[in-house]
Amino acid sequence: MVGFIARRLLALVPLLLLISFGVFALVLLIPGDPAVTLAGGTKANPAEIIRIRHQLHLDQSFLAQYGRWLGHALSGDLGRPLFLRGSVTSAIGDRFPVTLSLALGAVFVSLLIGIPAGILAGTHPGTWLDRFMTVGSSLGVAVPDFWLAMILVVLFAVQIHLLPSIGWVPLHTSPGQWLEHLILPCIALGLAGGATLARQLRGSLIDVLDQDYIRTARAMGLREREIISRLALKNAAAPTMTILGLQFAYLLGGTFIIEQIFSMPGIGSYMLQAISTKDLPIIQGVVLVTAVIFVLVNLAVDIGYAYLNPKVQLT
């Protein structure tokens, strides 16, 4: 297992370098000149534009700018925003717990919905229960999360005043209020993920339960519950783990619309603010952090595969 993890980590080095180069190349895609904007726009003094370009190192070659930016990024310095105070690294660090709480809560909701529904449908194929779960999962995938979020706000916040509609309370300030503010956005984010998990787990369970070793276990007199829990679920969990890992990485990358609807100061809202003002250091920092998160989550999924199936360690 250690050798397997070491090989995967070594393979990440060139991938991360390629990602960092692509992220820094975003500067070529954004129209306009940040130096002109900072100097006052179209009426800016040319001397001031030159001074700002030199201060931001925009007068250097692209590769020189990339090397300087990469060196700072490796040391944890993602630069300073063009129009805000503080550093990009500290701002992302302050906002990351919000997005992490949303992501973990949404994954919990997805598991709470997807695993029981997938097991029930996969162990009763062709029955009314399977059809009911299939229709329900299709509806869960089809419903947009932002639409569901607004419906939840109207029902539980506006009409019956059971849960707060907007805002954020840190965990260390009040655990109870922290949980209350997470319930609605996590349900809105986790429903589609739970439906996807249910469909994937159903298909995997049906395939696994049709294998010869399952029939052998039944012939040996093992109870159906033991067969499902000890044999079938472990082998059916690998494809489901991929879906869960991708969902978690996507959520950590920034839940833009949900954070806007519930006025939560997460990474997504920070990114939207940067896009509206063309604040390049923020955009580069958030995209880089998001890409690294995706890569690390994929690594965790690979390790999970190796745990569930030892044969994977040989590849």
Give the model confidence (pLDDT) of 233-269 as tens digits: 877 877 777 788 878 877 876 577 888 889 888 888 8
| Most trustworthy range by pLDDT among 23-27, 170-174, 240-244, 255-259 | 170-174
Select from 74, 107, 136 the last residue of a domain.
74
Based on the fold, state whether residues 171 and 241 are members of the same structural domain. Answer: yes
Asked whether residue 84 is domain-assigned, the answer is no
Same-domain check for residues 66 and 110: no
Return the residue matching tokens 């009911």.
132
| The predicted structure's pLDDT at residue 185 | 92
**What pLDDT does residue 260 have?**
86
**CA gap 269, 283 in Å, rounded:** 12
DSSP one-letter code for 1: -
Distances (CA, A) of 272 to 170, 255, 269, 278, 287: 22, 10, 5, 10, 12
CATH of the domain at 114: 1.10.3720.10
Rounded distance between C-alpha atoms, residue 97 and residue 105, angstroms = 12
Same domain, 144 and 268: yes
Query: Is 85 among the domain residues?
Result: no
Q: Are residues 252 and 181 in the same domain?
A: yes
Is residue 21, in this structure, part of any structural domain at all?
Answer: yes
∠ CA 167-81-21 to the nearest 5 degrees? 110
Contact 38, 52 (CB under 8 A): yes
- The residue among 74, 104, 129 that closes a domain is 74
Query: Does residue 183 share a domain with residue 60?
Result: no
8 A C-beta contact, residue 113 and residue 199: no
The mean pLDDT of 86-103, rounded to a whole number, is 89
Asked if the structure places residue 109 within a domain, the reply is: yes
d(CA 255, CA 239): 24
Query: Do residues 269 and 91 lie in contact, with contact meaning Cβ atoms separated by under 8 Å?
Result: no
Q: Are residues 68 and 133 in the same domain?
A: no
Q: How many domains does the chain have?
A: 2
196 lies in some domain: yes
pLDDT of 310 higher than 80: no
Measured CA to CA in angstroms, residue 41 lies from 26, 49, 274 at distances of 21, 10, 18
Please tell me which of 25-39, 52-66, 175-189, 243-257 the model is most confident about, judged by mean pLDDT: 175-189
> Is the domain of 13 the same as that of 102?
no
- Tell me whether residue 79 is in a domain: no
Do 111 and 62 share a structural domain?
A: no
Same domain, yes or no, for 192 and 268?
yes
pLDDT at 1 over 70: no
Range of the structural domain that residue 120 is part of: 95-314
Residue 219 and residue 162 share a domain: yes
41-81 pLDDT, tens digit per residue, is: 667 778 877 887 777 777 778 888 888 888 888 888 888 88
Shared-domain flag, residues 172 and 68: no
In a domain, 210, yes or no: yes
Same domain assignment for residues 125 and 49:
no
Residue 201 near residue 267, CB atoms below 8 Å: no
Note whether residue 34 is domain-resident: yes
